[in-house]
């Protein structure tokens, strides 16, 4: 009860509300932070999706004039940047935040307020990146603008999501848009770095009693691997982004070929981050699928240890394959051979996972609910994307494919057919846990099939479009090339996907209000989060769980008969009822991290600081920079003198009779503790 010490002077009165607007701004609860990550990520998914549709309208017919070249460049750059950094990464972070503590039996992450800092820095980083549409400029080229160089959409980053130097350097990008891009990514990287440290410490230190490493759910394992990938790859992109920013702002010569700098260095640094990054995008989805398939097949995951180690192996090898993005940029033949081989080798652990998933489904009593459909879709689509990926490892073939739509087809099969199908699978799977309601199964299935058909219509034709010579990142193609009909099909597919997303949004909105009560364990599932009431109480576990087996909850509910088939234990319902009772009425007071204003203010400070750097040559730039730095430092000082905990006691059922041992009439204590 450390918090009963004398009240400490703070600048702000301690936030107290646990509902309403300010409770979200000040929260340190991993579940609320997870939900905010989810909604913000989904907002950016819509933005990135609109950009994709605009691109597809332009490409639907040959020689189209819907967009100018400048607008097209801005759209494809922001589409890629948004989907990678502002949608898939934070959407995965939403799952990590919400589920990781629940799955390992913890009350929160290791550093709850740092967790909130991650979120606010991410949110303001995203706003900063998008604010370039309002404030960003592109410098006029020598001789003024041509018609196709005019943008009617405002100016945003236009150098591709990879921002290749020297195109993104001071010489060829004279406005501020690439400053927005480089600093925006720097800020987003900072957010991810903080959260990766947080997740690693959480997994290492906050596991419930008996939750050994090899009893952790595969999703937790994949989270851990992703956190390590972030930890080791983000510093590299941070250096690269500092270098390009310095090239642009301070006149350093790192990437300026005319002064002896090395543009290829940018590619090395970017892809040394960028290839681990694609595993950062896909591994969380693989974790989700590894939870969904066993639950809906009513079998344990086939080869649990193999799946875990394959995931870790993918993580390790992911750092040794980056140059396969650069086969055509003049790297030596030895390098090409080595990286080609390493790239093929990474198919082995991926294949292990695929076969284990199939082994999990094999002979199971499969239920085809929406999460299962999305997981099966994931496996099928990811196999296609994985196979076309192996074709890039063959260097001469890659020379032919590189910078064509074949590559676009490949990475959309792994990142849309893979990552996004996996994320939707998780959204449906954990919807009951999140809301206490059940979604509409019919609408869910319609969503799946519309999206599945739209997805294949949109991305399968890109394979042959690419092999027939359609070039990436070019805003028009000639009529004579004969690419028109398939491009129209792709555009129709893209709009079909958009329709499926509208169905999903309606389902989400409607089911949250009108869905039937789901109960705590609607799927007859295996992991610890299903031992909690739905929606999850603020304190997670009424009593910290003790784990005795892999799939502990399942083992408590089921035993096996002589043929190895699962048989429900007689007392299973009783066990569930008891769990729900202790979940709703914790027998003892629980410490929870108290809300705080400071994480939000840190986010604001970083936001101001970033503008200061972009505009450091203006008279008000340096004051802005200093103001941002002061806000950040000041809020850390305020943070330092703010106590962390509150005692959680007011969340018992209102009709509870109050005879739980050790439970006083609680509220006055709580207020006192808040100081």
Query: Using H for helix, E for strand and C for coil, what is the string for 79-92?
Result: HHHHHHHHHHHHHH
Cβ proximity to another protein: between 209 and 565 the closer is 209
Closest distance to another protein from the beta carbon of 215 (Å): 12
Residue 647 has φ and ψ, to the nearest 5°, of: -95, 130
Which residues on neighbouring strands pair with residue 647, listed in sequence order? 591
What is residue 404's DSSP assignment? B
Among 41, 67, 222, 236, binds another protein (CB under 8 A): 236
Among 114, 129, 494, 579, binds another protein (CB under 8 A): 114
Q: How does DSSP assign 37-71, residue by residue?
A: HHHHHHHHHHHHHHHHHHHHHHHSSTT--SS-HHH
Question: Apex CA 513: angle with CA 509 and CA 517, to 5°?
Answer: 120
Closest distance to another protein from the beta carbon of 642 (Å): 8
Q: Which stretch binds another protein (CB under 8 A): 156-164, 235-243, 377-385, 662-670?
A: 235-243
- Spatial contact of 444 and 431, defined as CB atoms under 8 Å apart: no
CA 623 to chain centre: 34
Q: How does DSSP assign 105-138, residue by residue?
A: T-SS-SSHHHHHHHHHHHHHHHHHHHTHHHH---
- Spatial contact of 506 and 443, defined as CB atoms under 8 Å apart: yes
Dist. CA 611–CA 618, nearest whole Å:
11
Among 57, 127, 153, 265, binds another protein (CB under 8 A): 265
Q: Which stretch binds another protein (CB under 8 A): 202-210, 366-374, 384-392, 548-556?
A: 202-210
110 binds another protein (CB under 8 A): yes
Query: Residue 502 region, left (φ>0) first, then alpha (ψ -120 to 50), else beta?
Result: alpha
630 binds another protein (CB under 8 A): no
618 binds another protein (CB under 8 A): no
593 binds another protein (CB under 8 A): yes
Among 143, 144, 260, 333, binds another protein (CB under 8 A): 260
- Spatial contact of 296 and 354, defined as CB atoms under 8 Å apart: no
Closest distance to another protein from the beta carbon of 594 (Å): 10
Among 57, 69, 246, 481, binds another protein (CB under 8 A): 246
Terminal Cα-to-Cα distance of the chain (whole angstroms): 13
Among 26, 198, 224, 404, binds another protein (CB under 8 A): 198
Q: Which stretch binds another protein (CB under 8 A): 100-108, 122-130, 601-609, 662-670?
A: 100-108
Closest distance to another protein from the beta carbon of 179 (Å): 18
632 binds another protein (CB under 8 A): no
**Tokens coding 512:** 């949250």
Binding mask 520-559 for another protein (x = CB under 8 A): ------------------------x---------------
107 binds another protein (CB under 8 A): yes
251 binds another protein (CB under 8 A): yes
120 binds another protein (CB under 8 A): no
Q: Which of 187, 273, 169 is nearest to 230 (CA)?
A: 273
Q: Which residues bind another protein (CB under 8 A)?
A: 2, 106-108, 110-114, 193, 197-198, 200-201, 204-207, 209, 211, 231-236, 238-240, 242-243, 246, 250-254, 256, 259-262, 265, 269, 544, 590-593, 636-637, 639-645
């Amino acid at each position: 009860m450390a918090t009963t010490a004398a009240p400490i002077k703070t600048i702000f009165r301690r936030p107290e509300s646990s509902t309403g607007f300010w409770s979200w701004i000040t929260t340190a609860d991993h579940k609320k932070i997870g939900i905010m990550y989810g909604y913000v990520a989904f907002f950016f998914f819509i933005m990135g999706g609109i950009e994709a549709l605009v691109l597809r309208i332009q490409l639907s017919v040959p020689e189209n004039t819907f967009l100018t070249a400048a607008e097209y460049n801005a759209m494809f750059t922001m589409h890629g940047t948004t989907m990678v950094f502002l949608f898939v990464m934070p959407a995965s972070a939403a799952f990590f935040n919400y589920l990781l503590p629940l799955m390992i039996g913890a009350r929160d992450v290791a550093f709850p307020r740092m967790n909130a800092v991650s979120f606010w820095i991410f949110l303001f980083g995203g706003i900063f990146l998008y604010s370039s549409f309002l404030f960003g400029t592109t410098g006029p080229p020598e001789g003024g603008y041509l018609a196709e160089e005019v943008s009617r959409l405002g100016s945003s980053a236009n150098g591709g999501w990879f921002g290749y130097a020297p195109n993104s350097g001071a010489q060829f990008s004279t406005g501020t848009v690439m400053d927005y891009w480089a600093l925006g990514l720097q800020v987003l990287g900072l957010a991810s770095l903080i959260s990766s440290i947080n997740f690693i410490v959480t997994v290492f230190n906050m596991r419930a009693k008996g939750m050994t490493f090899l009893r952790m759910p595969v999703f937790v394992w994949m989270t851990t691997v992703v956190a390590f990938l972030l930890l080791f790859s983000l510093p590299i992109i941070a250096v690269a982004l500092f270098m390009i920013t310095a090239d642009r702002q301070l006149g350093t010569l790192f990437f300026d070929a005319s002064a002896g700098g090395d543009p290829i260095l940018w590619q090395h640094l970017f892809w040394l981050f960028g290839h681990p990054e694609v595993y950062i995008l896909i591994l969380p989805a693989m974790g989700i699928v590894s939870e969904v398939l066993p639950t809906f097949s009513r079998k344990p995951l086939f080869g649990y240890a193999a799946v875990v180690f394959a995931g870790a192996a993918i993580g390790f090898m992911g750092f040794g394959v980056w140059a396969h993005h650069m086969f055509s940029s003049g790297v030596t033949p030895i390098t090409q051979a080595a990286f080609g081989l390493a790239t093929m080798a990474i198919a082995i652990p991926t294949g292990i996972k695929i076969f284990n998933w199939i082994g999990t489904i094999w002979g199971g009593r499969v239920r085809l609910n929406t999460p299962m459909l999305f997981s099966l879709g994931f496996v099928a689509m990811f196999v296609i994307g994985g196979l076309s990926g192996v074709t890039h490892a063959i260097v001469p073939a890659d020379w032919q494919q590189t910078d064509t739509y074949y590559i676009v087809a490949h990475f959309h099969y792994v990142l849309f057919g893979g990552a996004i199908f996996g994320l939707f699978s998780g959204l449906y799977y954990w919807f009951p846990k999140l809301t206490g309601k059940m979604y509409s199964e019919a609408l869910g299935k319609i969503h799946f099939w519309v999206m599945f058909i739209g997805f294949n219509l949109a991305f399968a034709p890109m394979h042959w479009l690419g092999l027939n010579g359609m070039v990436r990142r070019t805003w028009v193609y000639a009529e004579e090339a004969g690419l028109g009909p398939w491009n129209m099909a792709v555009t129709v597919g893209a709009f079909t996907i958009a329709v499926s997303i509208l169905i999903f949004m309606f389902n989400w909105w409607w089911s949250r209000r009108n869905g039937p009560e789901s109960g705590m364990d609607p799927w007859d599932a295996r992991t610890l989060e299903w031992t909690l009431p739905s929606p999850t109480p603020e304190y997670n576990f009424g009593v910290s769980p003790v784990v005795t087996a892999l799939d502990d909850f399942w083992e408590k509910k089921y035993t096996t008969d002589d043929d190895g088939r699962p048989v429900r234990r007689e007392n299973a319902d009783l066990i569930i009822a008891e769990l729900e009772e202790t979940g709703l009425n914790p027998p003892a007071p629980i410490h929870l991290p108290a809300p705080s204003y400071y994480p939000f203010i840190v986010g604001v400070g970083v936001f101001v600081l970033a503008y200061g750097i972009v505009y450091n040559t203006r008279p008000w730039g340096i004051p802005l920079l200093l103001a941002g730095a002061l806000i950040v430092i000041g809020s850390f000082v305020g943070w330092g003198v703010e106590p962390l905990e509150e005692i959680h006691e007011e969340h018992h059922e209102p009709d509870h009779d109050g005879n739980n041992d050790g439970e006083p009439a609680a509220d006055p204590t709580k207020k006192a503790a808040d100081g």
